[in-house]
């Protein structure tokens, strides 16, 4: 297996071919904020939070889906990137209806953490206040589309780890939303095994256990670790 050499923030790094810039940064201990990336499932580059600058390329590249190449000179934290990341998070907040104070995931939310990380104190964009629904037809779980950031982690974990493929993405652009089954109420989707992996994969309070009250959705880190290794180890339940 061939090895590529490159620099990230002037730090020389050697990493095997086929890995992503995000992998390389991780190995070198250089933090890059992410949201749609979830260890253990494929990457889609949906959130644009992991954008980096590569010398000689005049557009910003998402680290999670860009493979390393020989001699790359990568910067992860330029003022331009800081500004873009902050903007990306602000846009996510302006796009949905994120009310942390009453959210089940308050204090346990990756979106919230990322907002703090990029130094967002308010959104400079006008809030859209879209009219979105809540589906609590499933006997154990619910999905609140107001809090969905369309990272598709639920879609991928359900498809790639559980193999049930309950979730999908419908529509385009601003009308985009996550659907269960053939755009049915979740409770009516026979494919759903009620494994709860999507609950743990969801970075926000969008998918939750029913009955959970404000700030009560505790991120089960162990379960997330399990998701990471599940496919390799061929373990499908915990």
Partner 1 sequence: MAKTVVIDPVTRIEGHAKISIYLDDAGEVEDARFHVVEYRGFEKFCEGRPFTEMAGITARICGICPVSHLLAAAKTGDKLLAVKVPVAGEKLRRLMNLGQFTQSHALSFFHLSSPDFLLGWDSDPATRNVFGLIAADPDLARAGIRLRQFGQTIIEKLGARKIHAAWAVPGGVRSPLSEEGRTWIRERLPESFETLYTALNLFKQLLDRFTTETEEFGKFPSLFMGLVGKNGEWEHYGGHLRFRDSEGTIIADHLSEDDYHSFIGEAVEPWSYLKFPYYKPLGYPDGIYRVGPLARLNVCDHIGTEAADRELREMRDRAGGLPTSSFFYHYARLIEILAALEKIQQLMDDPDVVSERVRAQAGINELEGVGVSEAPRGTLFHHYKVDENGLIQKVNLIIATGQNNLAMNKTVTQIAKHYIHGNEIPEGLLNRVEAGIRCFDPCLSCSTHAAGQMPLHVELIGADGALLNEVYRR
For ligand SF4, the closer CB: 25 or 154:
154
Which of ligand FES, partner 1, ligand SF4, none sits in contact with 152, Cβ below 5 to 8 A by type?
Answer: ligand SF4
Rounded Cα gap, residues 220 and 228, in angstroms: 13
Q: Are strands 207-209 and 177-180 parallel, antiparallel or unpaired?
A: unpaired
Rounded to a whole number of angstroms, the minimum distance from the CB of residue 32 to ligand FES is 8
Which of ligand SF4, ligand FES, partner 1, none sits in contact with 7, Cβ below 5 to 8 A by type?
Answer: none
Which of ligand FES, ligand SF4, partner 1, none sits in contact with 201, Cβ below 5 to 8 A by type?
Answer: ligand SF4
Which of ligand SF4, ligand FES, partner 1, none sits in contact with 45, Cβ below 5 to 8 A by type?
Answer: ligand FES
Rounded Cα gap, residues 118 and 82, in angstroms: 7
Residues 153-192, one symbol each (x = binds partner 1 by CB under 8 A, - = not), give ----------------------------------x-----
Rounded Cα gap, residues 155 and 178, in angstroms: 8
Looking at 191, 215, 224, 228, which residue binds partner 1 (CB under 8 A)? 215
Rounded Cα gap, residues 86 and 94, in angstroms: 12
Under the criterion CB under 6 A, does residue 92 sit at the interface with ligand SF4? no
Radius of gyration of the chain (CA): 18
Q: Is residue 83 a contact partner of residue 38, using CB atoms and an 8 Å limit?
A: no
State the CB neighbour count (10 A cutoff) for residue 238: 13
Please return the burial class of 73, using the count of CB atoms within 10 Å of its CB with bins 0-12, 13-18 and 19+: middle
Rounded to a whole number of angstroms, the minimum distance from the CB of residue 90 to ligand FES is 16
Rounded to a whole number of angstroms, the minimum distance from the CB of residue 41 to ligand SF4 is 11
- Residue 110 DSSP SS3: helix
For ligand SF4, the closer CB: 53 or 162:
162
């Amino acid at each position: 297996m061939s090895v590529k050499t490159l620099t990230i923030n002037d730090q020389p790094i050697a990493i095997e071919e086929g890995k992503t810039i995000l992998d390389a940064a991780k190995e070198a201990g250089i933090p890059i904020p992410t949201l749609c990336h979830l260890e253990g499932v494929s990457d889609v580059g949906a959130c644009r939070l992991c954008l980096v600058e590569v010398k000689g390329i005049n557009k910003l590249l998402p680290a999670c889906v860009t493979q390393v190449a020989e001699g790359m000179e990568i910067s992860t934290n330029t003022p331009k990137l800081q500004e873009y990341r902050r903007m990306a998070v602000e846009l996510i907040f302006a796009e949905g209806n994120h009310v942390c104070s009453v959210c089940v995931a308050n204090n346990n939310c990756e979106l919230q953490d990322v907002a703090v990380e990029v130094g967002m104190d308010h959104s400079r964009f006008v809030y859209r206040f879209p009219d979105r629904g809540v589906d609590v037809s499933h006997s154990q779980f619910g999905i609140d589309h107001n809090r969905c950031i369309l990272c598709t982690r639920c879609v991928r974990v359900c498809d790639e780890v559980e193999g049930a493929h309950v979730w999908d993405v419908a529509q385009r652009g601003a009308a985009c939303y996550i659907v269960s089954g053939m755009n049915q109420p979740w409770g009516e989707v026979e494919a759903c095994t009620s494994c709860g992996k999507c609950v743990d994969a969801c970075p926000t309070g969008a998918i939750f256990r029913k009955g959970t009250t404000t700030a009560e959705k505790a991120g089960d880190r162990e379960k997330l670790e399990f998701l990471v290794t599940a496919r390799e180890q061929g373990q499908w339940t915990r």
